[in-house]
Amino acid sequence: MTVTGGSPGNNAMGASGPAPANLGDILERVLDKGLVIAGDIRVNLLDIELLTVKLRLVIASLETAREVGIDWWERDPWLQGREDDGDRRHELEAENRRLRQRVASLESGEDVAAVESGDERASLESGAEGAAKGARRGGRELESARRPSNPRRDDAERRRDDGD
């Protein structure tokens, strides 16, 4: 058995030996545990986009992070539950769905382009708000690029345009 931290025989921790050495263990507690006070405070860790902070931290110092064993937050439900990360998760889920459909259609020999184009539009509609403007513009370009492949719809639109 490995025992880290002060001597387990002596529970008065201030008086006993050194603090547990593993940074990962400490961060796991001081970042995600401990009393959370809501109310008359200026800054709280909750006010800070913690997931972003932690992920960037892992990416920025991957080696150090690995050494101290602190990539636990990547799948931390407390962090995953934050609303401002919802959009990104939706995007990933949409992408996942899209890829599954693509695999399924490839396996069944279906026309991949048809599946892709249908789903792309759906994912753009549910896309992140911040990216919505650009995405919508992109969507229109995609659609206009796709038009020639759909002569019937093209004709109908042309007729409508002519009527105007």
**Where do contacts with other proteins occur on this chain (CB under 8 A)?**
1-6, 8, 11-16, 19-20, 22-49, 53, 56-57, 60-61, 64-78
Q: Which residues, including other chains, have CB under 8 Å from residue 51's CB and lie 6 or more apart? A: 73, 79, 80, 82, 85
Pick 82 or 146: Cβ nearer other proteins: 82
Distance of alpha carbon 164 from the chain centroid? 45
User: Which residue lies nearer to other proteins by CB, 62 or 145?
Assistant: 62
59 or 162: CB nearest other proteins = 59
Q: 85 vs 120, which CB is nearer to other proteins?
A: 85
- Residue showing tokens 């995007």: 91
Q: Please state the closest distance from residue 1 (CB atom) to other proteins, in A.
A: 4
* Nearest CA-CA partner of 32 in 84, 86, 80: 80
Residue 149 in tokens: 């492949």
Could you give the CA distance from residue 135 to residue 123 in angstroms, rounded to a whole number? 10
Residue 138 CB, nearest distance to other proteins (Å)? 30
Residue count (the chain): 164
* DSSP letter, residue 22: -
CB of 22 to other proteins, least distance (A): 7
Q: How far is CA 69 from CA 27, 53, 66, 75, 99, in A?
A: 10, 17, 5, 14, 32
Closest distance to other proteins from the beta carbon of 86 (Å): 18
Taking the complex as a whole, the smallest distance from the CB of residue 77 to other proteins amounts, in Å, to 7
Which is nearer to other proteins, 41 or 133 (by Cβ)?
A: 41
3-state secondary structure at position 82: coil
